[in-house]
Amino acid sequence: MNENLFASFIAPTILGLPAAVLIILFPPLLIPTSKYLITNRLITTQQWLIKLTSKQMMTMHNTKGRTWSLMLVSLIIFIATTNLLGLLPHSFTPTTQLSMNLAMAIPLWAGAVIMGFRSKIKNALAHFLPQGTPTPLIPMLVIIETISLLIQPMALAVRLTANITAGHLLMHLIGSATLAMSTINLPSTLIIFTILILLTILEIAVALIQAYVFTLLVSLYLHDNT
């Protein structure tokens, strides 16, 4: 009970060296692959889910936007597997680190915006000034739209960090309460433990949904610039 509430969010080290890189590289090793023409049910289900997700995200894109399909599918798989592994006991979730989420969001957002300025500079500049804007409001709207554009990667990173961190903290608090009540009141312990199980199921859903939301928003930014 004396454990630090935020201890699970501290980046782990091995012999004084950061182990976050190894943890980030670990999830791809869990994705099964097959060298055979006829695959098993697990591989078939995995391929069906990837195809379904890719089709849903790429439907609205043109030919240039669809060149990002491999990157976006890899992104959603990476975030989903990282979030799910972080639900295991005594594990570390890299997506609870704002620095890592910014490292994913900023390059993807910047790539989409730069692509928009290179291919459709008139449409890209038109976003800063909506049609029919009164002349006195033009400077203010340009500033607001510029801030809105620059804050997009921060919003992506903070949304993912906040949702994953909040879920882990809540599970930690309820788990600690379950352990504390186990020696005091058994019926109350069973109730709290049931809540913990339901919360765990919810967090599994949140882990997958947040991976989808992050990737979908990057896809929308790409769509607006292609």
Contact 213, 220 (CB under 8 A): no
Alpha-carbon distance of 184 to 102, in angstroms, equals: 44
pLDDT: which is higher, 212 or 140? 212
Report pLDDT for 45: 82
CB-based contacts of 111, cutoff 8 Å, min separation 6: none
Name the average pLDDT for the chain: 80
pLDDT: which is higher, 10 or 183? 183
How would you class 162 by CB atoms within 10 Å of its CB: exposed for 0-12, middle for 13-18, buried for 19 or more?
A: middle
Region 1-29: mean pLDDT is 66
> What does the pLDDT look like over 107-139, one tens digit per residue?
998 888 888 888 777 777 777 776 777 777 777
Q: Which amino acid is at 38?
A: I
**DSSP-assigned letter for residue 13:** E
Contact 91, 24 (CB under 8 A): no
Nearest 10 degrees: Cα torsion 121, 148, 223, 122: -20
| φ, ψ (nearest 5 deg) of residue 30 | -85, -10
**Residue 211's closest CA among 80, 120, 48, 85?**
80
Whether 2 has a pLDDT exceeding 60, the answer reads: no
Token pair, residue 211, equals 């991976």
Alpha-carbon distance of 62 to 150, in angstroms, equals: 24
How would you class 204 by CB atoms within 10 Å of its CB: exposed for 0-12, middle for 13-18, buried for 19 or more?
A: middle
